[in-house]
Amino acid sequence: MPIFQYVATDQTGAQTQGSYEAANEEQALAQLAQYGLTVTQLVPTQSAPEVPSPAQPEKKQKKKKEKAPKPSKAAKKKKKKGGLLAIEIGGGPTSEDISIFTRQMSTLVHAGLPLLRSLEVMIKQQEKKPKFKAMLEAISEKVSSGGNLSDGLAMYPKTFDNLYVNMVRAGEAGGVLELVLDRLAQFQEKSIRTIKKVKSAMIYPSVIMFVAVGIVTLLMMVVVPQFQTIFEQMLRGAPLPGPTQIVIGISELFSTYPLLVLGGMGGTVGGLLLFKKTKIGAKTFDWLGLNVPAVRDVVGKSNISRITRTFGTLMSSGVPILQALQITRDTLSNTFFMKAMSNVHDSVRDGEAMAVQMGRETVFPTMVTSMVEIGEETGELPDMLTRIADNYDEDVDNAVAGMTSLIEPVMIVFLAVAVGFIVIALFLPIVAIIETIGK
């Protein structure tokens, strides 16, 4: 195909030039217009210069004006050892690092700074995070060589997931990258806030559980053996009450085989975690999450909030509906919600309204289905999904508070029952000794 040299102005009014390959002059003008460029001069050429990626035709000019940051020595060394994937292993950027990066990139691009210059600014800020810096240097190198930002991000799927990459790709295609980055930043910030609230709400119950296990272990390994010696001396072989025999038996197990007991506890926890990773185990835990009182509100509402937030953000960024449904499904972890979203995807693919299939799925409340139906009828589905997500974010906060308020007394009662049983079991023989002495 012929190659055209063009001079154009972008959306900020800055002049740019480069080359673009197209079948004819009309196609070149149409394609460049889609990238937000107003062509002032278009000349066919017989030479075959390096053609930049179609998604960012202006990058050739940017490449001439600015040099891409050279990868650091650490990055080069890691590439030699294990390629790009080696950068991702251990000590990579956290979700908060990605959120800050997205927010700052959105601000820089919105201010009219060229993409490569924005990446260069972000690279300079990562001096204390060499792994993240190496990632950004590789991404910048990809962009400077004619690739898209989304292509560079796609090199690190563990850091920039499918949702992130596809939204950036949609923003590049629509010429609204800064808007998409802003939406991504908002999405990540709200997700991080929700996760922090859940974690902070679980701190108190976790502390109570740790204290309970510590107290019971101390009683079994230190206190109960001393009482056992007293009982043997005072009762002289007389039978002990049933609860006392149980406590002493457990204490002997703790004292004689401490490693076995600790190994059994660790093995139980490890076994449950391994079981959860299996297909049946994941389904079992997901079912419990949707059916155990107090927990089901948090699990159900948080999944609905994530679905509507993700799907609404993707649609408002210009991602096609079927692709948006598939990406949304891939961001979920609950098997029941994943199955429901797969059914919705297949239903929409077959020409049915999304709200119709959602109404058949038991995981979606009637209110959510009704609001989606209204959004489809009015053509305001992305805005409606965002409103649903905002409402459910507040409901998740209330559900977490309710779960915490229920877990706290349950844990206290559990601790009281465990310690109380041990105390009563130890005092029953003492009562018998006192009665014997009295006679």
- In this predicted structure, what is the pLDDT of residue 54? 41
pLDDT band at 434 (very low <50, low <70, confident <90, very high): confident
Per-residue pLDDT for 426 more than 90? Answer: no
- In this predicted structure, what is the pLDDT of residue 57? 46
**For the chain, how big is the Rg over CA atoms in Å?**
31
Asked if residue 275 and residue 294 are part of one domain, the reply reads yes
Tell me what percent of the residues of the chain surpass a pLDDT of 70: 85
50-64, 275-289, 344-358, 369-383: which range is least confident on average?
A: 50-64
- C-alpha 368/C-alpha 384 separation (Å) is 10
- In this predicted structure, what is the pLDDT of residue 172? 83
Report how far apart the first and last C-alpha atoms of the chain are (Å, whole number): 113
- C-alpha 337/C-alpha 289 separation (Å) is 12
Query: pLDDT (tens digit, 9 = 90+) per residue, 151-187?
Result: 899 898 888 888 888 888 888 877 788 888 888 888 8
- Average pLDDT rounded to a whole number, residues 116-136: 89
Answer whether residue 68 is part of any domain: no
Domain boundary pick from 34, 63, 92 = 63
Asked if residue 371 and residue 422 are part of one domain, the reply reads yes
Q: How far is CA 108 from CA 67, 104, 142, 262, 435, in A?
A: 18, 6, 19, 53, 84
- Average pLDDT rounded to a whole number, residues 206-210: 82
Per-residue pLDDT for 78 more than 50? Answer: no
Per-residue pLDDT for 18 more than 80? Answer: no
- Average pLDDT rounded to a whole number, residues 285-307: 88
User: Could you give the strand order of the β-sheet that contains 3-9, starting from the edge strand earlier in sequence?
Assistant: 15-21, 3-9, 38-45
Domain boundary pick from 152, 172, 196 = 196
Q: What is the tally of structural domains in the chain?
A: 3
Asked if residue 434 and residue 286 are part of one domain, the reply reads yes
Tell me what percent of the residues of the chain surpass a pLDDT of 90: 16
- In this predicted structure, what is the pLDDT of residue 330? 83
Asked if residue 83 and residue 53 are part of one domain, the reply reads no
Q: Are 62 and 145 in contact (CB under 8 A)?
A: no
Q: Are 303 and 336 in contact (CB under 8 A)?
A: no
Answer whether residue 78 is part of any domain: yes
Answer whether residue 277 is part of any domain: yes
Asked if residue 328 and residue 231 are part of one domain, the reply reads yes
Query: pLDDT (tens digit, 9 = 90+) per residue, 317-348?
Result: 788 889 889 888 888 889 999 999 999 999 99
Domain boundary pick from 196, 229, 245 = 196
- In this predicted structure, what is the pLDDT of residue 372? 92
Answer whether residue 142 is part of any domain: yes
Asked if residue 85 and residue 42 are part of one domain, the reply reads no
* More confident position, 255 or 138: 138
- In this predicted structure, what is the pLDDT of residue 369? 93
> Mean pLDDT, the chain, as a whole number?
80
pLDDT band at 34 (very low <50, low <70, confident <90, very high): low
Q: Are 244 and 425 in contact (CB under 8 A)?
A: yes
Per-residue pLDDT for 438 more than 70? Answer: no
Q: b/e map of 74-108 (b: 16 or more CB within 10 Å)?
A: ebeebbeeeebebbbeeebbeeeebbbbbbbbbeb
- In this predicted structure, what is the pLDDT of residue 13? 58
Q: Which domain holds residue 107?
A: 73-196
Model pTM above 0.75: no
Asked if residue 254 and residue 160 are part of one domain, the reply reads no
Asked if residue 212 and residue 175 are part of one domain, the reply reads no
CATH number at residue 333: 1.20.81.30
- Average pLDDT rounded to a whole number, residues 97-115: 89
